[in-house]
């Protein structure tokens, strides 16, 4: 409830929130910290911290490459946990982990969730862990008052959405299209029908991601979704133009009157 309350309170001041994504250890933890500073200063409301994994099946080539580079440079789970605790204690916005189920399973699900809580994280997104296989995880998250963020996709039937909505917390991540992260998303009448079904299925706030790259994408989502998610394009901008330009890019996504 803590994350959901934050989102709904923030939406009293802004018509849509921004959530961004970075891969821990890419290009380095020092640069990750600078990137977070820049994004928070530019008005980002929530940040996903991805724990690198060798087989990031939901991610497109940009984020998959970042995962691989971080692992090659020797990033460890302990590094990720310690860094997450540092930024969660330094910035006044929620931080979430994004990773794959092998990570908490190997660490020990209860220990992983307990450590998340101790470090000040507010929730997690684990795209390859459905509720049927994640009962231990969901129970541990509830015990620690953390939000397990679950995922809707354009192929998810309404009854399945309703089922997921009952087991999720914080918000629902609505995948804008089929496929992996990073590709361009074209919004259409079909998308509007899909996001309408998402609204019907749950009272949780809705985040929309996969392929958002420009201000017109965020403008389109105003009044339809509660959170716009920018991931791959953040990394591309950082690689091509530098960290400072990420801040300029984020500020350009919304009108300055949107800033809370």
Catalytic option among 48, 92, 244, 255: 48
In the chain the first and final C-alpha atoms are separated, in Å, by: 21
Catalytic option among 2, 37, 45, 59: 59
Question: Of 46, 9, 57, 31, whose CA–CA distance to 231 is shortest?
Answer: 46
**In sequence order, which residues have a C-beta less than 8 Å from that of residue 144 and are 6 or more positions away?**
113, 114, 116, 117
Radius of gyration over alpha carbons of the chain, in Å? 17
Clarify whether 59 is annotated catalytic. yes
Q: What is the DSSP string of 150-218?
A: EEE-TT--HHHHHHHHHH--S-EEEESSSS-TTS-----HHHHHHHHHHHHH-SS-EEEESS--SHHHH
Partnered with residue 175 across adjacent β-strands are 209
Tokens coding 80: 């990720």
Clarify whether 48 is annotated catalytic. yes
Catalytic residue positions?
48, 59
């Amino acid at each position: 409830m803590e994350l959901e309350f934050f989102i709904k309170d923030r939406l009293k001041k802004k018509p849509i929130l921004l959530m961004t994504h970075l891969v821990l250890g890419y290009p380095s933890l020092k640069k990750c910290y600078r990137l977070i500073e820049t994004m928070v200063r530019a008005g980002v409301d929530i940040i996903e911290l991805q724990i690198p994994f060798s087989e990031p099946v939901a991610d497109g080539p940009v984020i998959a490459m970042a995962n691989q580079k971080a692992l090659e440079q020797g990033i460890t789970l302990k590094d990720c946990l310690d860094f997450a605790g540092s930024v969660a204690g330094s910035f006044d916005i929620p931080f979430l982990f994004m990773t794959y189920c092998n990570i908490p399973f190997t660490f020990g699900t209860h220990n992983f969730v307990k450590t998340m809580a101790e470090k000040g994280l507010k929730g997690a997104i684990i795209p390859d862990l459905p509720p049927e296989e994640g009962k231990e995880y969901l129970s541990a998250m509830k015990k620690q008052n953390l939000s397990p963020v679950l995922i809707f996709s354009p192929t998810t039937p309404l009854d399945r959405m309703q089922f997921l909505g009952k087991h999720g917390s914080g918000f629902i991540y609505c995948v804008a299209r089929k496929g992996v992260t990073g590709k361009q998303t074209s919004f259409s009448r079909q998308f509007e029908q899909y996001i309408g079904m998402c609204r019907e299925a749950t009272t949780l706030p809705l985040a929309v991601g996969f392929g958002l790259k420009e201000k017109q994408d965020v403008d389109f989502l105003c009044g339809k979704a509660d959170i716009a998610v920018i991931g791959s394009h953040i990394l591309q901008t950082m690689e091509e133009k530098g960290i400072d330009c990420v801040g300029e890019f984020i500020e350009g996504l919304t009108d300055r009157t949107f800033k809370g």
